[in-house]
Amino acid sequence: MPKAAIDVRDRTLRIDDPTLQRAVIGLETAANVTDFWSALRGFIGTALPDHHSATLFLDAQEKVPGALTLHSQPSRRPAEWWRARAKLTPTHAYLNDHPGIKLYNLEQMLPAAPVARRRTDFYRHVLRPEGFDKLVGLTTWEKGERKSILVLRRACAHAEFTRGEMNLLLDLHPIFDRNLRRIEKQEEERVCRSTLQQFINLLPQGVLLVNAKRELVFANPEAFETCAMWNLGSEVARRMNSRAVFAIPPAFLETYETLLAEHYALALTPGGGLGGLRRKLSHPEQPGLRADLSLVAMDDPLLTRPYLFAQLINHAALNAPTAAAQDRQLAVLAQLTPREREVALLVREGLGNEEIATRLHKGVGTIKNQLQSIFAKLAVNSRAKLVARLG
């Protein structure tokens, strides 16, 4: 008689089992939801291999059925199918009646009698067509509302989920919950950084951040342009790729050393205040180029290595006669790239395309393309309207 296959109930693992270590580490270190789902599937495949399918609902309330959902068997069902399915599932009503529950199964939600269960719409339209009749759900909550659910299913031919497997899922719950929250927080921070960077990139003034190793951490397009002019002069800078020739102006680094010395001197002085350490610089040969330099320090003033933060303004490019006009002009120029700003300001001076091309050492075709982009961004259709927008 052939040896019977080992049933899943005979091999329930513990959360600290060495065979699960790699998957657990993957959950703890996942950088995003995709990596997390990959690690989670690895965990399920090792600990609960005999299953029909698994689904991770990132929105446990299914406000948009089918969205924010990951499947072990990728589904291309239309939105209408997901909406209909969400209306049939007993999960939402059950969880509404059991707030805070971490783990549930199908038996808790459907009639106990097999005949009555088979008569339910959920069985007839979901369980039977999809080929499973066993289900467990691992649920996370936030402020009394369900947040996410991991659903595991077993087919009719599969064994029931055992008590040992249910306990394993409960042991998984804090890891599952903690790391989903961590990833959500990291994603929120990435979106904030990306949005802030997009905003900074549109500013008509340069923003520069340099670390304690005197290395560039961040610079927006205007900062690259202004540093090139500071180092090379405006005429040479116009002919160069500002990123390719970028260097932190020596005057900035010299000022940084001065500010650092003052910072540590104040930190060593009892009761010494550390606020307001900054310097304003003007370029000796291009007075329209200005820089406002300050230190950025987050921790203990004696143990921290402050960064250099610089705000760079090219007043010659702005060329606004009054504060009110400058504010209006800044709002308009903020919508353009540094190169487009140059073209727009030369149009305001009355130069034609060929004159602008000569001044900026570019082809006439390039100037025409930039003008088309400027017109589209500012919603104008003529040079006269562009001049009017610039004030």
pLDDT score, position 9? 43
DSSP state of 306: P
**Among candidate residues 103, 109, 110, 186, the one with its CA nearest the CA of residue 150:** 103
* Distance separating alpha carbons of residues 244 and 232, to the nearest angstrom: 13
- Per-residue pLDDT band for 320 (boundaries 50, 70, 90) equals very low
Mean pLDDT score, 300-317 = 80
Dihedral (Cα; 347, 352, 356, 359), 10-degree rounding? -110
**Cα 57 vs. chain centroid, distance in angstroms?**
20
pLDDT score, position 314? 86
Cβ atoms within 10 Å, residue 310: 25
Residue 71 DSSP SS3:
strand
- Per-residue pLDDT band for 55 (boundaries 50, 70, 90) equals very high
- Per-residue pLDDT band for 174 (boundaries 50, 70, 90) equals very high
Residue 340 neighbours by CB under 8 Å, 6+ apart: 370, 373, 374, 377
Is the CATH code 3.40.50.300 the one for domain 319-391?
A: no
Q: Quick check: 345 and 389 in contact, CB under 8 A? A: no
**Among candidate residues 61, 73, 52, the one with its CA nearest the CA of residue 152:** 52
Tell me the pLDDT tens digit for each residue of 226-282.
999 999 998 899 888 899 999 999 999 999 999 988 888 887 877 666 566 889 999
**Among candidate residues 314, 321, 315, 345, the one with its CA nearest the CA of residue 332:** 345
Instruction: Output the pTM of the full model.
Output: 0.65
Tell me the pLDDT tens digit for each residue of 201-225.
767 789 999 998 999 999 998 899 9
* Distance separating alpha carbons of residues 162 and 158, to the nearest angstrom: 12
- Per-residue pLDDT band for 47 (boundaries 50, 70, 90) equals very high
* Distance separating alpha carbons of residues 321 and 114, to the nearest angstrom: 84
pLDDT score, position 94? 93
Mean pLDDT score, 149-171 = 94
Question: For the chain, what are the domain ranges?
Answer: 8-191, 203-318, 319-391
CATH architecture observed for domain 8-191: 2-Layer Sandwich (3.30)
The CATH class given to the 203-318 domain equals alpha beta
User: Token pair 């059925």 is at which residue?
Assistant: 65
- Per-residue pLDDT band for 198 (boundaries 50, 70, 90) equals confident
- Per-residue pLDDT band for 308 (boundaries 50, 70, 90) equals very high
Detail the DSSP E strand segments found in the chain: 53-57, 69-71, 103-105, 134-142, 145-154, 206-210, 216-219, 278-282, 289-296, 307-314
The share of the chain scoring above pLDDT 90, in percent, equals 48
Residue 104 neighbours by CB under 8 Å, 6+ apart: 91, 94, 95, 98, 136, 137, 139
Determine the angle formed by the axes of helices 338-348 and 364-378, rounding to 10 degrees.
90
Tell me the pLDDT tens digit for each residue of 180-192.
999 999 988 887 7
pLDDT score, position 29? 97
Distances (CA, A) of 20 to 26, 53, 161, 315, 363: 10, 19, 19, 62, 63
Tell me the pLDDT tens digit for each residue of 340-359.
888 888 888 788 898 888 88
- Per-residue pLDDT band for 287 (boundaries 50, 70, 90) equals confident
DSSP state of 47: H
Same fold, 8-191 and 203-318: yes
- Per DSSP, the residues of 259-284 read HHHHHHHHHTSTT---TT-EEEEE-S
- Per-residue pLDDT band for 300 (boundaries 50, 70, 90) equals low
* Distance separating alpha carbons of residues 352 and 315, to the nearest angstrom: 23
pLDDT score, position 4? 43
Tell me the pLDDT tens digit for each residue of 4-38.
443 444 467 899 999 999 999 999 999 999 999 99
Q: Which helix (H) or strand (E) holds 160?
A: none
